[in-house]
Chain A
Amino acid sequence: MTFNLTFIALLGLSYLFILFFIAHAVNNGWIPKKITHHPATYVISLGIFFSAWSYYGVIDLANQFGYGALAYYLGIGTFFLFAPIIQAPLADLCRRFQLHSIADLLVFRYNSQLVGNIATLFILLSVIPLLIIQIQAVADTILLITQPLPRTLQEGLNWNKQRDTFALFYCLIIIAFCITFGASYSHHKSLITTMAFDSLIKLIALLIVGGFALYGVFGGLDELDIWLLNNSEFLIKLYNPESSSSTHTLLLAFIGTGVLMPHVFYMSQTGKSVNQIARTVTWAFPLFLLLMAIPVFPILWAGFKLDVPLTPTYFTLAVPQYANAPVITLISWIGGLSAASGALIVSILSLSTMVLNQWLLPLLSLKNQTDIYAQLRWLRRLIIIGITLASYFFYLALDHEHSLTKLAILAAIQALQFVPGIIAINYWPGANRYGFYAGLTTGSLICLLGLVIPLMFMDFTEVLLLAISPYLPSNTPLWEAITLLSLGVNIFTFVIVSYITPTSNEEQYHADICAEDELSSPFRRILTIKSTTEFKEKLALSIGKDAADKEVNRALKILGLKESETRPYSLRRLRTRIRTNLSGLLGHTMASEIIEEHFPYQSPSSTEAAEAIDINLMESRLDRIGKKLHGLPADVNRLRLHHRNTLQTLPIAICSLGFDDEILLWNDAMAAITHVPANQVTGSKLSDLPKPWGELISDFANDAQTHTNKQSIDQQGDTHWFRLHKSSLQEVTQERTEGQVILIEDITEMQLLEQELLHNTRLASIGRLAAGVAHEIGNPVTGIACLAQNLRYDEEEDARVETADAIVSQTDRISRIVQSLVTFAHTGKSSTDDFHKVNLQECANEAIHLLSLQTDRKPIEYRNDIDKQTFIWGDAQRFIQIFLNLLGNANDASPDFSSITLNSRLYENHCEIDIIDEGSGIPAEYLAQIMDPFFTTKETGKGTGLGLSIVYSIIKEHHGDIQVTSPVAQGRGTCFTLQLPLFKEGTSFMSTPTLDTEKPLS
């Protein structure tokens, strides 16, 4: 049964068009993110590992190796079963440092461009057989379903010619797809979704063919068992295959393939969510493998049952074809086409990245390019065309002589040579680049001599076999011996050379990073760059202004930094981020060259500078990997966090400085005192701190004194007092200073209390003096009053009586003054136990009277309209003091001949007293502070700033409240409103209700 060639061509083109459409739909957002970002999409996309060989060639593998063919699936399955251990660390590394190919990863680990060059060469050598397989499979299968098998030599030649034409057309379509959707990294998501669709089609097609073989050809499981019993040679082949001893070697080769084949690497290492779904992959991908593996044996046996006159390689297509099932034949062919296309596209894209980054970019100068992105795109496109056409010519050169299985095993064995170098990335920090060169080169040379050359020149195989056969175990195939020998020599050379050759510090640093042991050496280097603008200017010299602006802005956005950033720690992070981003764009080597050229670190000027550890970097890394730690390291990390939190939340302001005055720690209390958040200053220099802190702390840090006395600082109009202490941080083992810790003590409250105490002491002295003076004056005044009264009664002369009256009147006045002084002297002595019924109107009158005695009093009218029935719980002397302070302030603020009014409002449980003046009012900016101690707007020496704060505290002692309104009307005047609980008969002060909202009674 054959099909029309045009029909098949249209079918194939339609399928590839669907791939184009899906990629385009994802790029345009037509497919919901729920599908494109779903873990299942990612897992299925990994199915591109199953190339045309897995679709067709694995049947031949099953024929040769029986159950041994399952090694192919077990090898890959093992790789994914242990994905969180094997794959996730590599994926994490690639994502962190934007390493987009296996060569980039190796360059990063071994810190050598030569490693990248060599790796790219050997990867090309190992992948090209894979590319040839895909092209050959597609071309072969087109012929198989469109042409009858050739019977003559001429037919055979025509057959080959047509096959080569199909292969060329197929390559051109693949080139078109890769150029359109793979030349830019921004299309990565569309590629994953497209490949997931591709893998799904292939899986469904294989399951359908397998189901057809089982139920269509045999009639069911039982019938298959009966057939196997009747054809026991197939069962014997299943359990005792032709090449039974090779099973373990096959397993080994295919484990290596799982780790190394670039098309797998490309997908699994560059996806953003690998780590999150690594656990899903552990079971989901082996399930995918299982579904791919189940149909293999039924298809193989169905091919033999139908006596298909073809090699088992193409049984997947031939079984439905020779069973005359046209629809299933077409489905099978589409499955094969999808398998070949997916593997080919991803492999070509991956190789193009490697060739661009490792070979071309180091040779090309990218200077003076206005659009580096377009240049990179075009370079990639050219490489894609080059690699695809090269594969096509290799395909022609091999002249269809070799089976897919042979080519696939060859690719796997060559890929296996990378295993030691790759395993060392995560698990052996002691390995070095010389070991890697030596191991890879010797292993690959053995592979080349033992496998590749014999593949091309059969004569050589005979010579080789003759030479080494005495050393081979009996019944060991040449390919197996060469595989084990090449890998063994590779590992041996790698280990020995790594031990005997020196490793540079830089390489060791990278090795530690890769082994996730990077915390051992995060040194703090000093950058010569001081701003983000400088970054842009310097970077523009290499990649052009537009690209430089875009890259720096992208890095700033990722890090959440501002363009005005100048902190050394932030600039170091920016440098690392730009390097990472450039690595994704240009490869690790180019990125490193550009960064080292334009943004070098200063040479350390001292031992301290050379060995200063980047605490912030270390902490951020520990925070990142903290959850992965177990056992003792986890305990140490918990201890670190405990101490960190202790320092961070300590109610004493602390900052820790590096040897170069870089701020390493800025705790919460420090942030509260200075109003400078930690995330703004951590990593910056002391001198970069905002005023006045920069100068204050910097001067103190560089001073010989370890403690300071009171330092006053004006903050938002208030004066605050601080005391500073410092101590040197000694490095425990090396007996050198690695910085200092500064402690800032806010002593404002203590200072205010001290001043208040002084003031109160002074007031108390005055009070005592007043009491003494009053007593001393009182006695003679009483005498004078008595004598004046006697004189008034004794004298009859009017003029003298009048004089005596005047004397009595004046002595009365003196007595009242003396009484007021005594009253004032008693203020502040009562407690709430002494609270009694107080008439506020009388208190206000007393205060007004005292004020009228002032010698410098102004001509101001006091109007006391407080209700006579306003009684409260309290201390009368204290209320006199309140009125004295408030009226005194009002007096000072009021103009001459104005009036000060006192009025009241009574509520059910409390009263409100207003004291309203007609003065200039209080500026709005001062309103919030007037109750603060020592806040005064009066001239120096005229006010202590304590008046209102004393008023406030007395009111609070009486469970009341005070409010200020200014201006009152027409931009002038101030109104102080006192709210106080009313006196109630039969209750106590403690039982007075709290203030609440009430309607006034009057």
Chain B
Amino acid sequence: MNNQRFIFFILLIGYIFTPTLFNWLIAPEGSWYKPFILWIFIIIGAYLFQRSQKSS
């Protein structure tokens, strides 16, 4: 059985925040590599999440 509620939750979060996040990312303020720094944070988050999943 799939945990579909979780998927819907993620989709909802994505729908709400993606445009804002994207606009913030491509806003002219800051360095040109700003999106890549955020990207690194996402990777670290994913790594920590999967590690906690594995240990549980």
Is A235 in the interface zone, CB < 8 Å from B?
A: yes
The answer to whether A297 touches B43, judged by C-beta atoms less than 8 angstroms apart, is no
Interface secondary structure of B, over-half rule = helix
Distance of A286 Cα from B27 Cα, bound (Å): 23
Distance of A515 Cα from B1 Cα, bound (Å): 7
Q: Which residues of A contact B (CB under 8 A)?
A: 66-68, 70, 81-82, 84-85, 89, 225, 228, 235, 238-239, 247-248, 279-280, 282-283, 286-287, 290, 293-294, 297, 426-427, 515-517, 625, 628-630, 633
The answer to whether A67 touches B2, judged by C-beta atoms less than 8 angstroms apart, is no
Distance of A341 Cα from B53 Cα, bound (Å): 37
Please name the residue on chain B nearest to A71 by beta carbon: B22
Tell me how far the C-beta of B47 lies from the nearest C-beta in chain A, rounded to whole angstroms: 4
The answer to whether A282 touches B36, judged by C-beta atoms less than 8 angstroms apart, is no
The contact size tier of chain B is: 20 to 34
Q: Which residues of B contact A633 (CB under 8 A)?
A: 1
* 30 cross-chain CB contacts under 8 A: A66-B26, A67-B26, A67-B35, A70-B35, A81-B42, A81-B46, A82-B10, A84-B53, A85-B3, A89-B2, A238-B26, A239-B26, A248-B22, A280-B50, A282-B50, A283-B43, A283-B50, A286-B43, A286-B46, A287-B43, A293-B36, A293-B39, A294-B33, A297-B32, A427-B4, A516-B2, A625-B1, A628-B1, A629-B1, A633-B1
The answer to whether B10 touches A290, judged by C-beta atoms less than 8 angstroms apart, is no
The answer to whether A290 touches B36, judged by C-beta atoms less than 8 angstroms apart, is yes
Contact partner of A247 among B4, B6, B22, B47, CB < 8 A? Answer: B22
Distance of A89 Cα from B2 Cα, bound (Å): 9
Residues of chain B from 19 to 56 with CB closer than 8 A to chain A in the complex? 19, 22, 25-28, 31-33, 35-36, 39-40, 42-44, 46-47, 49-50, 53-54
Nearest first, the 9 A-B pairs at minimum CB distance are A283-B46, A279-B50, A283-B47, A67-B26, A239-B28, A282-B46, A287-B43, A286-B43, A290-B39
The answer to whether B2 touches A238, judged by C-beta atoms less than 8 angstroms apart, is no
Q: Which residues of A contact B47 (CB under 8 A)?
A: 283
The answer to whether B3 touches A630, judged by C-beta atoms less than 8 angstroms apart, is yes
Q: Which residues of B contact A293 (CB under 8 A)?
A: 36, 39
Q: Which residues of B contact A280 (CB under 8 A)?
A: 50
Q: Which residues of B contact A517 (CB under 8 A)?
A: 1
Please name the residue on chain A nearest to B49 by beta carbon: A282
Please name the residue on chain B nearest to A85 by beta carbon: B7
Tell me how far the C-beta of B22 lies from the nearest C-beta in chain A, rounded to whole angstroms: 7
Distance of A426 Cα from B32 Cα, bound (Å): 39
Tell me how far the C-beta of A47 lies from the nearest C-beta in chain B, rounded to whole angstroms: 15
Distance of A290 Cα from B41 Cα, bound (Å): 11
Distance of A238 Cα from B28 Cα, bound (Å): 8
Please name the residue on chain B nearest to A632 by beta carbon: B1
Tell me how far the C-beta of B8 lies from the nearest C-beta in chain A, rounded to whole angstroms: 10
Distance of A248 Cα from B44 Cα, bound (Å): 25
The answer to whether B32 touches A238, judged by C-beta atoms less than 8 angstroms apart, is yes
Distance of A231 Cα from B53 Cα, bound (Å): 47
The answer to whether A67 touches B3, judged by C-beta atoms less than 8 angstroms apart, is no
Tell me how far the C-beta of B14 lies from the nearest C-beta in chain A, rounded to whole angstroms: 8
Tell me how far the C-beta of B25 lies from the nearest C-beta in chain A, rounded to whole angstroms: 7
Tell me how far the C-beta of A89 lies from the nearest C-beta in chain B, rounded to whole angstroms: 7
Tell me how far the C-beta of A786 lies from the nearest C-beta in chain B, rounded to whole angstroms: 99
Tell me how far the C-beta of B28 lies from the nearest C-beta in chain A, rounded to whole angstroms: 5
Distance of A286 Cα from B2 Cα, bound (Å): 24
Distance of A290 Cα from B10 Cα, bound (Å): 22
Q: Which residues of A contact B44 (CB under 8 A)?
A: 283
Please name the residue on chain A nearest to B6 by beta carbon: A85
Distance of A329 Cα from B45 Cα, bound (Å): 37
- Whether A225 contacts B36 in the complex (CB less than 8 A), given A279-B50, A283-B47, comes out as no
Q: Which residues of B contact A630 (CB under 8 A)?
A: 3
Please name the residue on chain A nearest to B48 by beta carbon: A283
Other than the given A248-B22, A280-B50, A516-B1, 10 more pairs (CB < 8 A) read A67-B35, A84-B53, A225-B31, A248-B19, A283-B46, A286-B42, A290-B40, A293-B36, A426-B2, A517-B1
Tell me how far the C-beta of A564 lies from the nearest C-beta in chain B, rounded to whole angstroms: 38
Distance of A70 Cα from B46 Cα, bound (Å): 19
Tell me how far the C-beta of A411 lies from the nearest C-beta in chain B, rounded to whole angstroms: 24
Tell me how far the C-beta of B15 lies from the nearest C-beta in chain A, rounded to whole angstroms: 11
Tell me how far the C-beta of B21 lies from the nearest C-beta in chain A, rounded to whole angstroms: 10
